[in-house]
Amino acid sequence: MSDGRQPLDVFDRTIAPALGAVAAVLLFGLMALTCIDVIGRYFLNSPIYGAFEITEMLLAALIFLGLPLVTLRNEHVTVDVLDPITPDWLFRIEHVAACAISFVATGYLAWRLWLRAMSMDAAGETTAQLKFKLAYLTYAMSILMALTAVALLVLLFRQPPRNAPGEGIGP
Protein backbone atom coordinates (compact mmCIF):
# COMPACT_ATOMS: atom_id res chain seq x y z
CA MET A 1 0.00 0.00 0.00
CA SER A 2 1.67 3.15 -1.21
CA ASP A 3 -0.22 5.60 0.99
CA GLY A 4 1.42 4.26 4.17
CA ARG A 5 -1.66 2.43 5.41
CA GLN A 6 -1.47 -1.06 6.79
CA PRO A 7 -3.77 -3.93 5.76
CA LEU A 8 -6.83 -4.12 7.99
CA ASP A 9 -6.01 -0.79 9.64
CA VAL A 10 -9.65 -0.40 10.66
CA PHE A 11 -8.60 -2.22 13.84
CA ASP A 12 -6.00 0.47 14.54
CA ARG A 13 -8.54 3.25 14.00
CA THR A 14 -11.51 1.77 15.91
CA ILE A 15 -10.72 -1.11 18.24
CA ALA A 16 -7.37 0.06 19.62
CA PRO A 17 -8.62 3.51 20.70
CA ALA A 18 -11.77 2.00 22.22
CA LEU A 19 -9.79 -0.59 24.19
CA GLY A 20 -7.29 2.09 25.17
CA ALA A 21 -10.06 4.32 26.52
CA VAL A 22 -11.60 1.49 28.54
CA ALA A 23 -8.15 0.53 29.86
CA ALA A 24 -7.52 4.16 30.87
CA VAL A 25 -10.82 4.31 32.75
CA LEU A 26 -10.07 1.02 34.53
CA LEU A 27 -6.57 2.17 35.41
CA PHE A 28 -7.91 5.45 36.78
CA GLY A 29 -10.54 3.53 38.76
CA LEU A 30 -7.87 1.23 40.15
CA MET A 31 -5.74 4.20 41.14
CA ALA A 32 -8.67 6.03 42.75
CA LEU A 33 -9.82 2.90 44.60
CA THR A 34 -6.34 2.24 45.96
CA CYS A 35 -5.85 5.86 47.01
CA ILE A 36 -9.23 6.12 48.72
CA ASP A 37 -8.82 2.72 50.37
CA VAL A 38 -5.38 3.62 51.76
CA ILE A 39 -6.67 6.95 53.09
CA GLY A 40 -9.70 5.25 54.59
CA ARG A 41 -7.70 2.38 56.07
CA TYR A 42 -4.83 4.33 57.65
CA PHE A 43 -6.29 7.76 58.40
CA LEU A 44 -9.99 7.09 59.01
CA ASN A 45 -9.74 3.49 60.19
CA SER A 46 -12.45 2.60 57.67
CA PRO A 47 -11.25 0.69 54.57
CA ILE A 48 -13.46 0.20 51.52
CA TYR A 49 -15.44 -3.02 51.85
CA GLY A 50 -14.35 -5.46 49.14
CA ALA A 51 -11.49 -3.28 47.86
CA PHE A 52 -9.19 -6.29 47.51
CA GLU A 53 -11.72 -8.16 45.34
CA ILE A 54 -12.40 -5.09 43.22
CA THR A 55 -8.66 -4.58 42.77
CA GLU A 56 -8.21 -8.20 41.69
CA MET A 57 -11.00 -7.94 39.12
CA LEU A 58 -9.79 -4.59 37.79
CA LEU A 59 -6.25 -5.93 37.41
CA ALA A 60 -7.46 -9.01 35.52
CA ALA A 61 -9.60 -6.86 33.24
CA LEU A 62 -6.73 -4.43 32.67
CA ILE A 63 -4.29 -7.21 31.76
CA PHE A 64 -6.68 -8.81 29.30
CA LEU A 65 -7.58 -5.40 27.80
CA GLY A 66 -3.90 -4.80 27.22
CA LEU A 67 -3.32 -8.04 25.32
CA PRO A 68 -5.07 -7.04 22.07
CA LEU A 69 -3.58 -3.53 22.30
CA VAL A 70 -0.01 -4.74 22.71
CA THR A 71 -0.52 -7.36 20.02
CA LEU A 72 -2.05 -4.98 17.49
CA ARG A 73 0.75 -2.47 18.04
CA ASN A 74 3.30 -5.29 17.77
CA GLU A 75 4.84 -4.26 21.09
CA HIS A 76 5.45 -7.67 22.65
CA VAL A 77 8.90 -8.32 24.02
CA THR A 78 10.93 -9.93 21.26
CA VAL A 79 14.41 -11.34 20.87
CA ASP A 80 15.81 -10.01 17.62
CA VAL A 81 19.46 -11.03 17.82
CA LEU A 82 19.41 -12.63 14.37
CA ASP A 83 17.16 -10.07 12.66
CA PRO A 84 20.00 -8.07 11.06
CA ILE A 85 21.38 -11.16 9.30
CA THR A 86 18.09 -12.87 8.47
CA PRO A 87 17.13 -12.58 4.78
CA ASP A 88 13.83 -10.84 4.05
CA TRP A 89 12.15 -13.99 2.72
CA LEU A 90 13.02 -15.96 5.88
CA PHE A 91 12.08 -13.04 8.11
CA ARG A 92 8.61 -13.01 6.51
CA ILE A 93 8.24 -16.79 6.99
CA GLU A 94 9.23 -16.44 10.66
CA HIS A 95 6.66 -13.67 11.08
CA VAL A 96 3.87 -15.71 9.48
CA ALA A 97 4.77 -18.81 11.51
CA ALA A 98 4.92 -16.87 14.78
CA CYS A 99 1.57 -15.18 14.09
CA ALA A 100 -0.07 -18.46 13.06
CA ILE A 101 1.19 -20.40 16.09
CA SER A 102 0.26 -17.54 18.41
CA PHE A 103 -3.19 -17.31 16.81
CA VAL A 104 -3.86 -21.00 17.42
CA ALA A 105 -2.59 -20.83 21.03
CA THR A 106 -4.52 -17.64 21.80
CA GLY A 107 -7.67 -18.95 20.17
CA TYR A 108 -7.39 -22.14 22.22
CA LEU A 109 -7.01 -20.10 25.41
CA ALA A 110 -10.06 -18.01 24.49
CA TRP A 111 -12.09 -21.17 23.95
CA ARG A 112 -10.92 -22.69 27.26
CA LEU A 113 -11.72 -19.46 29.10
CA TRP A 114 -15.21 -19.48 27.57
CA LEU A 115 -15.75 -23.06 28.75
CA ARG A 116 -14.48 -22.13 32.21
CA ALA A 117 -16.83 -19.15 32.32
CA MET A 118 -19.75 -21.42 31.40
CA SER A 119 -18.89 -23.84 34.21
CA MET A 120 -18.47 -20.96 36.68
CA ASP A 121 -21.83 -19.58 35.60
CA ALA A 122 -23.51 -22.95 36.00
CA ALA A 123 -21.95 -23.45 39.44
CA GLY A 124 -22.84 -19.89 40.49
CA GLU A 125 -19.28 -19.09 41.58
CA THR A 126 -18.95 -15.67 43.18
CA THR A 127 -16.34 -13.64 44.99
CA ALA A 128 -16.21 -14.15 48.77
CA GLN A 129 -17.20 -10.70 50.00
CA LEU A 130 -19.05 -8.86 47.25
CA LYS A 131 -20.71 -11.94 45.73
CA PHE A 132 -19.81 -10.73 42.22
CA LYS A 133 -20.34 -13.49 39.64
CA LEU A 134 -16.91 -14.56 38.46
CA ALA A 135 -18.35 -15.83 35.18
CA TYR A 136 -18.87 -12.24 33.97
CA LEU A 137 -15.18 -11.42 34.29
CA THR A 138 -14.19 -14.74 32.77
CA TYR A 139 -16.49 -14.21 29.77
CA ALA A 140 -14.90 -10.78 29.27
CA MET A 141 -11.43 -12.32 29.52
CA SER A 142 -12.40 -14.90 26.91
CA ILE A 143 -13.73 -12.25 24.52
CA LEU A 144 -10.60 -10.14 24.94
CA MET A 145 -8.42 -13.19 24.36
CA ALA A 146 -10.38 -13.92 21.17
CA LEU A 147 -9.86 -10.30 20.14
CA THR A 148 -6.14 -10.85 20.69
CA ALA A 149 -6.33 -13.83 18.34
CA VAL A 150 -8.00 -11.60 15.74
CA ALA A 151 -5.24 -9.03 16.25
CA LEU A 152 -2.70 -11.77 15.52
CA LEU A 153 -4.53 -12.52 12.27
CA VAL A 154 -4.34 -8.84 11.39
CA LEU A 155 -0.58 -8.88 12.05
CA LEU A 156 -0.26 -11.95 9.86
CA PHE A 157 -1.19 -9.85 6.81
CA ARG A 158 1.12 -6.98 7.67
CA GLN A 159 4.74 -6.48 6.81
CA PRO A 160 6.81 -7.50 9.86
CA PRO A 161 8.80 -4.62 11.33
CA ARG A 162 12.56 -4.94 11.41
CA ASN A 163 14.35 -3.38 14.34
CA ALA A 164 17.20 -1.09 13.44
CA PRO A 165 20.67 -2.17 14.57
CA GLY A 166 21.37 -0.73 18.02
CA GLU A 167 17.72 -0.01 18.74
CA GLY A 168 16.93 -0.16 22.42
CA ILE A 169 20.50 0.33 23.54
CA GLY A 170 20.91 3.02 26.17
CA PRO A 171 23.20 6.07 25.93
pLDDT grade for 83, boundaries at 50, 70 and 90: confident
Q: What is the mean pLDDT of residues 48-71?
A: 92
Q: What is the mean pLDDT of residues 5-21?
A: 77
Say yes or no to pLDDT of 4 above 80: no
Q: What is the mean pLDDT of residues 61-81?
A: 85
Q: What is the mean pLDDT of residues 69-81?
A: 80
What distance in Å separates the CA atoms of residue 16 and residue 107, rounded to the nearest whole number?
19
pLDDT grade for 64, boundaries at 50, 70 and 90: very high
Say yes or no to pLDDT of 79 above 80: no
- HSE-CB at 160 with a 13 A cutoff on CA atoms is 22
Sequence-distant contacts of 129-136: CB under 8 A, at least 24 apart: 129/49, 129/50, 129/52, 129/53, 130/49, 130/50, 130/53, 130/54, 132/53, 132/57
pLDDT score for 170: 45
What average pLDDT does the chain have? 85
What distance in Å separates the CA atoms of residue 139 and residue 110, rounded to the nearest whole number?
9
Q: Tell me: the pLDDT tens digits for 111-155?
A: 999 999 999 999 999 888 889 999 999 999 999 999 999 999 988
pTM (2 d.p.): 0.81
Q: What is the CA radius of gyration of the chain?
A: 20
In which region does residue 74 sit, left (phi positive, over 0), alpha (psi from -120 to 50) or beta (all else)?
A: left
Q: What is the mean pLDDT of residues 35-45?
A: 90
pLDDT grade for 163, boundaries at 50, 70 and 90: low
